[in-house]
Structure 1
Amino acid sequence: MKKFIFLFLFFGSLSVTAQIDRVEPPFWWSDMNYSEVQLMFYGKNIAEYEVSVPKEMIISNIRKTENPNYLFVTVQTEGLPAGSYDLRFSKKGKKSFTHSYELKQREAGSELREGFDSSDVIYLIMPDRFANGDPSNDSHPELQEKANRKEPGGRHGGDIEGIIQNLDYLEDLGVTAIWSTPLLEDDDPSYSYHTYAQSDVYRIDPRYGTNEDYRRLASEMHRRDMKLIMDYVTNHWGGEHWMMDDLPTYDWIHQFPGYKNSNYRMTTQFDPHRSGIDTKLNEDGWFVSTMPDLNQSNPLVLNYLTQNAIWWIEFANLDGFRVDTYSYNDKEGIAKWTKAIMEEYPNFNIVGEVWMHDQAQISYWQKDSPVGAIQSYNTGLPSVMDFTLHDAIMAMFNEDEMHWDRGMVRAYDNFANDFLYADTDNLLVFAGNHDTNRINEEFDGDLKKYKMAMALILTTRGTPQLYYGDEIGMRGDKPAKGDGDIRRDFPGGWEADEQSAFTEAGRTQQQKEYHQFTKKLLNFRKDKEVLHTGKLLQYIPENNVYVYFRYNTEDRVMVVINNSSENQILDLSRFAEGLAGATSGRNVINDSQMQLQDKLEIEEKSSLVIDLN
């Protein structure tokens, strides 16, 4: 990691020809609601220059900092047509040079783009581990870490082209949206494959492809009616970010001075009895020592992050954000960031990672939360991740017997707390992701347990998310072998792979059984509106059997999950309210007709998804 240098030298009256090394954002668009754009110019002693613009453009603010290598110029773009505008830089009244800044033509209807929602199924990909579509970019001369597929924590070569080449596989599976872990440049000398320690937030990492490749991915997905979700990081950058050796301001990042680790206690954000030092260490402490913590309470930083996020939505034609470590940010700053994006794109969607283990604490971060309202706090964040459901899934399917707080009652209790949320349809539900242990490891490769978990995830309220490879039974043991083990390469993504799970012929028999079940449910769900927005009616589990219904005025689906180690016979009279007069239905998995008049028998460790007649 580079050493941080926070001393800014004064160059006096030394005559230096200004060199603009960077302008960010590199261009903007006409007809944006976010029309007051803060241009950041970076170059040696750039702050010594005065700036003027054409008469049709207005400068509303010029900000110089203690570092003379930065100049922040805010221009008004409202009403300006697309085109190039010359900004003139002068010193002592004499023109020195001109920079041409472009406003591009915005695509028609851009601000009304529809984000992901509960009608979607999101597939989470770690691009370095999914598929290597272009081996020529596995390493890059400008970036430190080179490809080494033998190293579990190294770069393996997966890229954007690999995702594009396998979109047909995902479409056939029934996926409608992709959340890829970050793709922006990460120049850490090791473990850079996860890309959460970014070194340039306006550039796709060349080992994944180019900015244009990313835009092409969105285009190819939209052609298939699929949506692209960017993993956005507001809380921190990497220690190799280009600014870190020459910060715009000392407080661009949180310093104590220098590094201090976070205490990870997100509860300090709302604890009415919190101490100041504990709160500071949560919000301002660094996530890890190689990820400097960004200071969103600095208006320059917040504006930089806001414009960068909007720039990527507009440039790449994105359909959503997943925001990493959302609840570690400055709480007022992240709310302003979120609301600015949603004001520009009112139908967009953003899901925040709030890794907490209590529904009230998670709810606090969702837009219009009744919990947040207690402290007059509203993030404007449409969606949060249902980590309490994930906690239940990781435990209950390994509990054959039900007790007061064990077994399938964990699921019931989770949904019983839904009154705490403002919008349960906009909760992200998942069994596993890139940070949790592989569910098939937790289930020890038990296909029956996987099927029960997927039946729940794909039929309950909220927007379901799958983790790449779960659909073919991939395993990985994080506690024993580290993150690299839960982020293994998808079989068939590399030319040298002996078999390919991307094709039916290439899958093992076990992989086929996982895949077929997943595909069947995903494609049933795709056009089943009642599973997208229908109400949820649940029954207290008995004998470790959980029964619930999704319903609206026109349609009903019954779900039965028998987590006990014995076959169970249900008295259907108990479920009259949910059945609403239905006496038969279709077993979605095997397409058989079922009679639902008196009794219903269900095998041990199995699930039924019944489309009621």
Structure 2
Amino acid sequence: MKRLFFISLFLMSLNGFSQIERIEPPFWWTDMKMDELQVMLYGKDIAEYEVSAEEPVILRNVRRTENPNYLFVTINSGDLAAGKYKLNFSKNGKKKFSRNYELKEREENSAEREGFDASDAIYLIMPDRFANGNPENDSSPELQEKANRSKQGGRHGGDIQGIIDHLDYLEDLGITALWSTPLLEDDDPQYSYHTYAISDAYNIDKRYGSNEDYRRLADEMHKRDMKLIMDYVTNHWGAEHWMIKDLPTYDWIHQFPGYENSNYRMTTQYDQHKSKRDLRYCVDGWFTSTMPDLNQSNPLVLKYLTQNAIWWIEYAGLDGFRVDTYSYNDKDGIAKWTKAIMDEYPHFNIVGEVWMHDQAQISYWQKDSRIGAIQSFNSYLPSVMDFTLHDAIGTMFNEEEQNWGEGMVKAYDNFVNDFLYTNINNLLVFIENHDTNRFNEIYDGDVDKYKLAMTLILTTRGIPQLYYGSEIGMRGDKGKGDGDIRRDFPGGWESDEQSAFLKAERSAKQQEYYSFTKKLLNYRKDQPVLHFGKLLQYLPENNVYVYFRYNEDQRVMVVINNNPDEQVLNLSKYSEGLKNHISGKEIISGKSMELKDKLSIGGNKSMVIELN
């Protein structure tokens, strides 16, 4: 009889585990400022069960939706110690099964983690195209798309192990932070390599590795005093996401009913003359037909996304987020999401992709924006991307003559509008990324123009971001497809004939790109004046742009000659910036120089002069 009793209990236990297919978050932590945890339970007809808990767990709320396969249970997580707590499931007054939920001990000082800032230089990697460290995970029997390196838009096999294998390369280059495009599972049948169409928000794509591999990447980076930034997507998931295939609520995603594409007009978010229809098609329209648009105005969705983001920060030890398509979200919902994360981690950093071409419109989205305040809006977003500077960089180095609005005046004019931003040191500056034309394609492999652009990016205000392969002159034409601007890094695969990771195998031109980038990056790394110093700029003359970065202890003079001819500068004009300094060390050449009367600079050359 006793044996039958234990068999019965065992079968009840099995029934419980088969009844609940998923619990998300899979576990949580103690001592979080977010003191109420929403636990999502998923399983066939799980809503038919009553849920109870034993002390000290308090069920704040049990929410059922129109889909009986979901239960949303809110508990008092902030009051509980680390341990496993039992949730009981009953039907018709009889207990049917139980399930443990674990709260883990939080790492010491987790809430005080320091995010990336202007002292960092960020390296953006497209992981599928960087390096294949584990060929055994190139394909997965559980996921639809298999590896095919011959296809421009196919899976090529790059993975987390490939990144770990080359952290020494990045450290030597002078990189201090890594932004990887998304690594979460994307089970689209094709073009899944970019991983922006997420199919599981709690698991790394098996073709990249495992959750443990991702945490190991963070650990390996922290050993080198480097920071890891996750590319987080709040606006949409992929059509293959398991929740999209069995929606918790009809309004979990935006429906018209069904699919309508976004009009991509982000200006409707604050246009006082907008039509309601135009605003709806921007915010609620889908980014593409394969990316259903998430409804952040639904409290269940917003809580899910907020907890998921915090879970990854805590689990992997993250140092920042880059948020994809930030300005396409429901703006009040995304502001609540951002504030919740920054309340939990006050020194964290989040940069939002606000791909617009006007500083006032971009600055609207930065925390405490005076522009946003006009409409009583605060995004709480610490950092935005300086797309207007990127726009200028894409044309001005091909404009040899300085006209009223051409040449280096474009750089000057960009910084004139810095008064619109609340924190200019927390702007991301870049010459290219994974969605834009490659700089070295625009400028036809002109290494001198690359040096001018990198001098600007690495010495002006803000947080510089490089795109993988820039430092060896990689090219790519967006007109030929996104895959062309996301080429494989040479040497990332064993079968590659040449490895640009190794000095001995780089071509002379690749080495010229690399040496210049490395020299400036490593100089910048230890120069607080280039991180947080003030910016003093002068109107360009003859297509020569001069500016200073300075603080109480140090001054650096930067000269960018975008004129093909040698120019001679009268230094008396720059006395305010020179501040009685009459000598300095030019960092790029390593030469000492006098700064008394005149300064000569070659055509299409730059100088970074540390004043003595």
Q: TM-score range by the shorter chain?
A: over 0.9
Partner SS state of residue 541, structure 1: coil
Deviations 1:387-407 (A, max 9, x none): 000000001011111110110
AA at the equivalent of 1:162: G
Partner SS state of residue 524, structure 1: helix
Correspondences of 1:233-248 after superposition (within 5 Å):
233-248=233-248
Report the equivalent of 2:572: 573
Report the equivalent of 1:331: 331
Deviation at 1:293, TM superposition (A): 0.2
Report the equivalent of 1:8: none
Deviations 1:297-340 (A, max 9, x none): 00000000000000000000000000000000000000000000
AA at the equivalent of 1:439: F
Deviations 1:418-440 (A, max 9, x none): 00000000000000000000000
Deviations 1:16-37 (A, max 9, x none): 9971000000000011111200
Deviations 1:349-408 (A, max 9, x none): 000000000000000000011111111100000000000000000010111111101100
Deviation at 1:92, TM superposition (A): 1.0
Structure 2 residue 465 is matched with structure 1 residue 473: no
Deviations 1:512-532 (A, max 9, x none): 000000000000000000000
Report the equivalent of 1:161: 161
How many angstroms apart in 2 are the aligned matches of 1:102 and 1:590? 58
Partner SS state of residue 402, structure 2: coil
Report the equivalent of 1:523: 522
AA at the equivalent of 1:220: E
How many angstroms apart in 2 are the aligned matches of 1:98 and 1:357? 55
Correspondences of 1:311-460 after superposition (within 5 Å):
311-460=311-460
AA at the equivalent of 2:34: Y
Question: Does the Cα contact within 8 Å between 2:16 and 2:97 map onto a contact in 1?
Answer: no
How many angstroms apart in 2 are the aligned matches of 1:262 and 1:123? 30
Question: Does the Cα contact within 8 Å between 1:16 and 1:45 map onto a contact in 2?
Answer: no
Question: Does the Cα contact within 8 Å between 2:132 and 2:159 map onto a contact in 1?
Answer: yes
How many angstroms apart in 2 are the aligned matches of 1:123 and 1:330? 29
Deviations 1:248-286 (A, max 9, x none): 000000000000000000000000100000000000000
How many angstroms apart in 1 are the aligned matches of 2:246 and 2:161? 34
Question: Does the Cα contact within 8 Å between 1:18 and 1:46 map onto a contact in 2?
Answer: no
Partner SS state of residue 245, structure 1: helix
How many angstroms apart in 2 are the aligned matches of 1:286 and 1:349? 27
Deviation at 1:79, TM superposition (A): 2.6
Report the equivalent of 1:213: 213
Question: Does the Cα contact within 8 Å between 1:82 and 1:103 map onto a contact in 2?
Answer: yes
AA at the equivalent of 1:428: L
Question: Does the Cα contact within 8 Å between 2:443 and 2:449 map onto a contact in 1?
Answer: yes
AA at the equivalent of 2:336: K
How many angstroms apart in 2 are the aligned matches of 1:78 and 1:42? 23
Partner SS state of residue 458, structure 1: helix
Deviations 1:534-572 (A, max 9, x none): 000000000000000000010000000000111100000
AA at the equivalent of 1:341: I
How many angstroms apart in 2 are the aligned matches of 1:78 and 1:423? 33
How many angstroms apart in 2 are the aligned matches of 1:55 and 1:229? 38
Partner SS state of residue 476, structure 2: coil
How many angstroms apart in 2 are the aligned matches of 1:107 and 1:175? 26
AA at the equivalent of 1:525: R
Question: Aligned-pair RMSD on alpha carbons?
Answer: 0.9
Partner SS state of residue 78, structure 1: helix
How many angstroms apart in 2 are the aligned matches of 1:427 and 1:492? 32
Which ranges of structure 1 fall in alignment gaps of 5 or more residues?
1-14
Deviations 1:189-246 (A, max 9, x none): 0000000000001000000000000000000000000000000000000000001221
Report the equivalent of 2:8: none
Report the equivalent of 1:12: none
Partner SS state of residue 312, structure 1: helix
AA at the equivalent of 1:612: L
Partner SS state of residue 561, structure 1: strand
AA at the equivalent of 2:87: L
Deviations 1:154-210 (A, max 9, x none): 000000000000000000000000000000000000000000000001000000000
Deviations 1:415-460 (A, max 9, x none): 0000000000000000000000000001110000000000000000
1:69/1:114 Cα in 2 relative to 1: closer, same or farther (>3 Å)? same
AA at the equivalent of 1:537: L
Deviations 1:111-131 (A, max 9, x none): 000000000000000000000
Report the equivalent of 1:4: none
How many angstroms apart in 1 are the aligned matches of 2:172 and 2:391? 30
AA at the equivalent of 1:514: Y
Report the equivalent of 1:51: 51
Structure 2 residue 68 is matched with structure 1 residue 68: yes
How many angstroms apart in 2 are the aligned matches of 1:194 and 1:602? 43
How many angstroms apart in 2 are the aligned matches of 1:286 and 1:507? 43
How many angstroms apart in 1 are the aligned matches of 2:605 and 2:269? 41
Question: Does the Cα contact within 8 Å between 2:251 and 2:295 map onto a contact in 1?
Answer: yes
Deviation at 1:77, TM superposition (A): 1.2
Deviation at 1:50, TM superposition (A): 0.5
Question: Does the Cα contact within 8 Å between 2:16 and 2:98 map onto a contact in 1?
Answer: no
AA at the equivalent of 2:507: T
AA at the equivalent of 2:574: F
1:218/1:16 Cα in 2 relative to 1: closer, same or farther (>3 Å)? closer
How many angstroms apart in 2 are the aligned matches of 1:279 and 1:69? 33
How many angstroms apart in 2 are the aligned matches of 1:64 and 1:190? 35
1:88/1:561 Cα in 2 relative to 1: closer, same or farther (>3 Å)? same
1:25/1:577 Cα in 2 relative to 1: closer, same or farther (>3 Å)? same
